[in-house]
Chains A and B, each alone.
Chain A
């Protein structure tokens, strides 16, 4: 009988921290990364965590990786890093509709061709999970969900019952994740819930051009979590994407704040909230 239990990724324990910045998918938006690192410095955080998907969508993927590695950012593997390190042919984003996969493949091929071998090897060394303690809560940092690197935890398809089960299964109080590109949080009980930090890589499909990260801190012994808007020079990013020959659809998203691609994976309510 083969062993059919799903394998757990490599995990690190980083102990207790007072205040941390949490960065979701960067998708090569190194300009937004610079802006987010400035926010983190201004907020005097103890540490900055990037939750994976450093590449995709945007231009010059190595610029993002260099900043992460030089800037002392603690990094977790996303599906992009897992795929790039393994030399996979696609991003394993978890899309199911061919319309989504069409654009996902363009992003992945560009990122793979423009990421150095040395960076790809480094991506293979990253942990899949990091555990922290902040404000009396145990945090589990992951990419998609604790059990699957490419599982989408969306606001309207992640019910309280499932959150409770996941917290119990992984012996944690808070799951911190990204992968969806849309930020949200829900705490069915005080100090216990899901914090999806959103993405630095593209705006949140709401007609606004800024992107998002999150900060969690010990607030008098209690965990406080907030989403922080991150404005950046999106016009410059748009120009660089055009110069790199990236799809006009991607550039439009950067300029307008509305998603134009990879829309079929969205749940009904998240889809209805966008323009396309």
Chain B
């Protein structure tokens, strides 16, 4: 039995990179980190995932960009941002100064654009990992979203992997609203992804019954928050079952430590927090504390022992997790 003073080993690995704990911000939900650092020291996060960086500045989509929905929200921000040059000049150095482990999310409209972004990041100091946001329309394929096309996703990952420094892990961020998420996940790993991140926000829509028009100016938007958690758990479950050796960053509606544990049991070795940050600037630290308490209560000495544990055969006792750990990491 663990005594209450004993702490759980919360370290986790994104490929070969060690993070002190599994809780990160989700892309696009913590801007570039400066705002959160008013509330706490960014080095306390497992990592800070930036908003998706594009080559050129982007003004994003018109407002309204946000509509609250039951236990969630729709957003259509449209990747507003200053572009890679300003990011490298101002935002990334600030993260490094503040001791944050920066995972840089990138978004492009073609394989060439993702590659160009990777080239700009390749010799930038302070990049802990690169996350490739695949929920972007491919301008060379009539705007078909990369994340829905295993071959195009693999091509992006192969090119980014070949361009980035070997010691910086490349993470493929997947969308849930695809025909076969396992096929896309496998294609990304075959292409060279060191890890996977899922889920991005599935497309949804709401209509204002007063104005009798769509609530968002863009019509559709990404659905996030607790409403999508079951979708995230299903996707994690399927991908972890198919690719048990691949580290997965799980996300989708995590508001509490309990929710983080659910995603970890499904197969995530790290957990990103998005919409919860809008509700509570301290969400990441609170979730980390709650997760650690829950693991302690359940007798875990190491976070790693809980990863994917829900996949053990029915009836298998808690001891079984030792076997699973060996087969899963």
A and B assemble together: no
* Chain A interface residues (CB < 8 Å from chain B): none
